[in-house]
Structure 1
């Protein structure tokens, strides 16, 4: 027995003496520790960071088997974290056929005509998430225009719960002048004030469309391969962790298979989607069931962290729930001067849902865009905080675009985490400015106010469709997001949108690293480059801390490591970074 113990101790010592597999030296390492320290070298052993410091002290750990990466002064930083994506759906968007980029209503109508020619009469034409704020004309295609483009096919131009449809789509779905919403859910059908006939604009009512998607059926292997391709593209822009912002069991099965096969190149935290129509007791039971999911006990590579619901509509479609009326708008097809958007969940039902999640140990978040919806959700968090502890649940607000000074302060006081999409400011500020005016946008995406008050914000994209970091809807290139937080400049918009809310470079990096890790319950593992943490890091061709600000948009990732594994290599490290790899 004594000899066995000696053998075990010797084996343990030998394994420990193996030393780091990788040392990075001559780098400019932004550790994103509490002091935002800059270091020269880092050592990685068994997927963990075992040393961060100066070149000489870290190189003392080198063994004959250690790979030494000399970066010639290039920047290293923690792997980037996207706090809100819809990866599984996005990967399958163009499985049946390519979808061109669209910047105008004419582009939309050209696509509709092309699909009408490609499909049999009567087959549905479905175009999703081409947002009107991002079209040059900034309006929905009309029912008449869609009729002209597809006279023999039901056609829907859908943006989340809102849509513009043609006559045949209305007829197929049984929506006419006598149609009423009767399922207890939200929404309404826009009608012509003169005739009473549906205009083709549906607010929060796409669930009533009887769509039959045409196209070839995907196999599980197809879904797996396309998701793996998307994840490879995430790695190419430095993303090492994501949060699936509306997961179902099918998504979790794909992630689990990828993990089991040893092919998962990034960390996945998931918020499980829960429907909110029906008896509140059933919804509470569904929330508690999520707390019993096996992946609640998952590890840092794959885990269910909470639940997700949809509280209001969208700013991109004219249905976010606002504290004041939207105002009559040709852009959003709003005729009612008192229209404030759509709130999907009454406050008393929302309170019951948040309470069930809190009692079950789950993070709660909701798609929450308008300031009226943000006020409703934060108000529920505030009420419950008076009777039960909520801070350790890290409840969140997904999007949190329109806020107020009062909700900003409550978010900070309660430890609530906004999950934000800076690229929305870049893509949508022109339309929002023309509709709301500059002053009403004072508290649109108020990142600086939240951080300066002591809160945190987690950056992300809400990636919905297509593979490609800049062609995607929404773009998931983190460097566009970081640049937007620094400049608050936008496409087709002159000047800056409330530059007082712009971030410093250190703040911008934090919201895509340690703040994201905190929102995903990964901050003990990743988000900063500190001894003992997992080795998720990236090598860049650009120093984000010192380069001209516009160069940040063009920054490229040379290498991406997740859990100490090289998951992306641009194959140009030596040429572009001036670096060398040694043994």
Structure 2
């Protein structure tokens, strides 16, 4: 509340100063439907911008008073303007690399995947690695004849790639698929599989009834082959980063929460900032997979950028797997795989240790948890860490759970009680719900899966995103899923568990002001208010009023960051 009042007072002072001095705007955006996400002034006709900040918001007649000889007049031509969209959980380098590797996100069958591999082999030299990401067996329109534990086998793919190792990551990032050549290089075979399995607790090498590896490696087992894939060059990494930034701007994304990276990524972002190429505001989570990195940052503390372009003040922990490969850690066994409960991919003692050190050094903790067991375990560890530091205001720390996809009903209220931010991706409900019921059964789905309204009713903040490249980066399908609870094909009529749907106002807030809150920036951005950053997204359709299915046809036509138009569409 204090921060909100401080921001309001600063905005009023700026407005009064501008009025009294006769100061003119650098730019004025007018002639559009402007949704501010400001409860005191939800819609406006025009916005004036000065020095990258919002100078005034109001009626066209009031705002035109700020027009000067040098003011750039931006005619919205009746289009819709919102605060800049904030992607609250995704992977920036993954978005870029998806454009440089095999993109399997839209593959509809195993045979189509094999055909893409065969095409890549034709362009490669013998021995070159073929890599890609995005396949998801539960989204294929037809399943291959031979499947083991719900996954395809490598035989067809190996037949078209005898001389090239192939390594294809699952869309979720929690499994991967290799061919015979890749497994040969890693020493994975019928005789070695059991000894190798012991090295990767928290994952599984899927094998057939004869004990032969099928090519599918889940969770931590993927490292057996993954570690052999040649390291990327810095030149290629910078190319991928630039492509990811361009994609963000094309889609109307002005801020991006990167869900777990190392020092090389942080240094790369800083280089881009210094060169003036970082056009998206970045909030980077340190990867918990590098304990030595965390120790270095505990010592020096968070890096909070006064320019609001590149901040590092949070830590990402990967605590369980995903529902697709049956890696999400559950309290009760999987409905479609009796006796299997998923995987604890990180010792829970690590969550305790990191949470305590984070509280002592000023970092936020963001823990990946999809299954109800993982969510409960993390909530328990967060609570214990808070109890160890009774002088810390647990609500001010804004610890997060990334995904919070499936919860036990008795744990939902704890999000509000401890002010745990639920960083959820509505698009996961749209793409996963048709088959997730097979994993969890109807009772668990209804009680605690994708329960946005239950969490908000409990007082929790729910921020939105896509988890790209797990899903496409475009925020509009996720916005659509938030309000419809349907697949992108419009199924089913009325939506899945429709009582948990967001209103359009809630969905817009989840993608703007709530995203800003999740990174401690709600006083700087996330709504169109005087004194805040001039970060805007302009759409060619009014996403707040058009029929649901029309949202999926909308496009960002302009993206503005700090008052600068960084993307113009056709």
Shared fold, TM over 0.5 = yes
Is 1:447 the counterpart of 2:452? The answer is yes
Q: Secondary structure at 1:40's aligned position in 2?
A: strand
Q: 1:42 to 1:155 in 2, by over 3 A?
A: closer
Alpha-carbon offset, residue 15 of structure 1: 13
Counterpart in the other structure of 1:483? 480
Q: Is the 8 A contact 1:163 1:201 kept in 2?
A: yes
Q: Bigger CA drift: 111-120 or 32-41? A: 111-120
Q: Is the 8 A contact 2:336 2:439 kept in 1?
A: no
Q: Secondary structure at 1:27's aligned position in 2?
A: strand
After superposition, the CA RMSD in angstroms is: 2.8
Counterpart in the other structure of 1:340? 341
- Of 236, 254, 260, 2:250 maps to 236
Counterpart in the other structure of 1:426? 430
Counterpart in the other structure of 2:317? 309
Q: Distance in 2 between matches of 1:289 and 1:357?
A: 12
Alpha-carbon offset, residue 214 of structure 1: 6.8
Rg: which structure is higher? 1
Alpha-carbon offset, residue 514 of structure 1: 0.2
Alpha-carbon offset, residue 207 of structure 1: 1.0
Unmatched segments (≥5 aa) in structure 2: 1-16, 144-149
Counterpart in the other structure of 1:403? 407
Alpha-carbon offset, residue 203 of structure 1: 2.9
Q: Distance in 1 between matches of 2:174 and 2:218?
A: 7
- Of 164, 184, 189, 2:205 maps to 189
Counterpart in the other structure of 1:533? 532
Alpha-carbon offset, residue 100 of structure 1: 8.2
Counterpart in the other structure of 2:10? none
Counterpart in the other structure of 1:298? 305
Q: Is the 8 A contact 2:105 2:135 kept in 1?
A: no
Q: Is the 8 A contact 2:317 2:351 kept in 1?
A: no
Counterpart in the other structure of 2:134? 129
Alpha-carbon offset, residue 30 of structure 1: 1.3
Is 1:173 the counterpart of 2:148? The answer is no
Counterpart in the other structure of 1:500? 499
Deviations 1:355-387 (A, max 9, x none): 111221101112211111111111212222333
TM-score w.r.t. length of structure 1: 0.85
Q: Distance in 2 between matches of 1:178 and 1:75?
A: 58
Write out aligned runs for 1:156-305 (5 A). 156-159=167-170, 160-175=173-188, 176-183=192-199, 185-193=201-209, 195-204=210-219, 205-209=221-225, 212-213=228-229, 218-220=233-235, 222-275=236-289, 283=291, 286-292=293-299, 296-299=303-306, 300-305=308-313
Q: Distance in 2 between matches of 1:121 and 1:263?
A: 37
Is 1:366 the counterpart of 2:373? The answer is no
Alpha-carbon offset, residue 286 of structure 1: 4.1
Is 1:544 the counterpart of 2:543? The answer is yes
Counterpart in the other structure of 2:29? 24
Q: Is the 8 A contact 1:295 1:304 kept in 2?
A: yes
Q: Distance in 1 between matches of 2:569 and 2:207?
A: 54
Q: Bigger CA drift: 226-235 or 374-383? A: 226-235
Q: Secondary structure at 1:386's aligned position in 2?
A: helix
Q: Distance in 1 between matches of 2:438 and 2:101?
A: 37
Deviations 1:456-511 (A, max 9, x none): 111111112xxxxxxxx421111111111111101465342111110101000000
Deviations 1:199-241 (A, max 9, x none): 44323201112654479x6553x44344223322211221100
Alpha-carbon offset, residue 28 of structure 1: 2.6
Q: Bigger CA drift: 494-503 or 126-135? A: 126-135
Counterpart in the other structure of 2:161? 150
Q: Distance in 1 between matches of 2:205 and 2:156?
A: 18
Q: Is the 8 A contact 1:105 1:140 kept in 2?
A: no
In the comparison of the two structures, how many residue pairs are matched?
535
Q: 1:270 to 1:199 in 2, by over 3 A?
A: same
Q: Secondary structure at 2:254's aligned position in 1?
A: strand
Unmatched segments (≥5 aa) in structure 1: 1-11, 277-282, 330-336, 465-472, 572-583
Q: Is the 8 A contact 1:417 1:456 kept in 2?
A: yes
Q: Is the 8 A contact 1:103 1:135 kept in 2?
A: yes
Q: Distance in 2 between matches of 1:13 and 1:55?
A: 17
Alpha-carbon offset, residue 88 of structure 1: 2.0
Q: Is the 8 A contact 2:105 2:134 kept in 1?
A: no
Q: Is the 8 A contact 1:287 1:357 kept in 2?
A: no
Q: Distance in 2 between matches of 1:22 and 1:218?
A: 41
TM-score w.r.t. length of structure 2: 0.86
